[in-house]
C-alpha cells in the first residue's frame, strides 16, 4: 500500500462529497472511490463485522438460526456474506 495513493483517494473523496453537497450526482463515483480505498487498505468483511452479546434469558433469530443467551455473536454486513 502506498500512503500517497490512499491520501490522494481520500482527498478525491472529499471533493466528491463537496460536489454532492452542491447537488451534483456523485453517488456512483463515491462508491467506486470507497471500494478503491478499501482495496488499498486491504479492508475485508471481518473488519466490518459487529459483535453482539446476548444476556441470559434473551434470544435472537439470525438467518434462520436461533441463538439463546448467554452468547456472543459476530455478524457480517449482509453484502459480505
Task: Kindly report the number of other CB atoms within 10 A of residue 26's CB atom.
Answer: 19
- pTM, two decimals, is 0.56
Cβ–Cβ under 8 Å, residues 17 and 30: yes
Share of the chain above pLDDT 90, in %: 36
Summarised one tens digit per residue, pLDDT across range 45-60 is 777 788 888 899 888 8
* pLDDT, position 66: 87
- C-alpha–C-alpha distance, residues 48 and 76, integer Å: 7
Distance of CA 77 to the CA centre of its chain: 7
Amino acid at each position: 500500500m502506498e500512503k500517497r495513493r490512499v491520501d490522494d483517494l481520500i482527498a478525491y473523496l472529499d471533493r466528491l462529497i463537496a460536489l454532492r453537497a452542491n447537488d451534483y450526482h456523485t453517488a456512483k463515483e463515491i462508491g467506486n472511490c470507497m471500494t478503491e480505498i478499501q482495496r488499498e487498505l486491504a479492508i475485508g468483511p471481518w473488519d466490518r463485522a459487529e459483535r453482539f452479546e446476548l444476556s441470559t434469558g434473551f434470544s435472537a433469530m439470525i438467518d434462520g438460526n436461533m441463538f439463546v443467551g448467554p452468547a456472543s455473536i459476530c455478524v457480517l454486513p449482509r453484502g459480505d456474506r
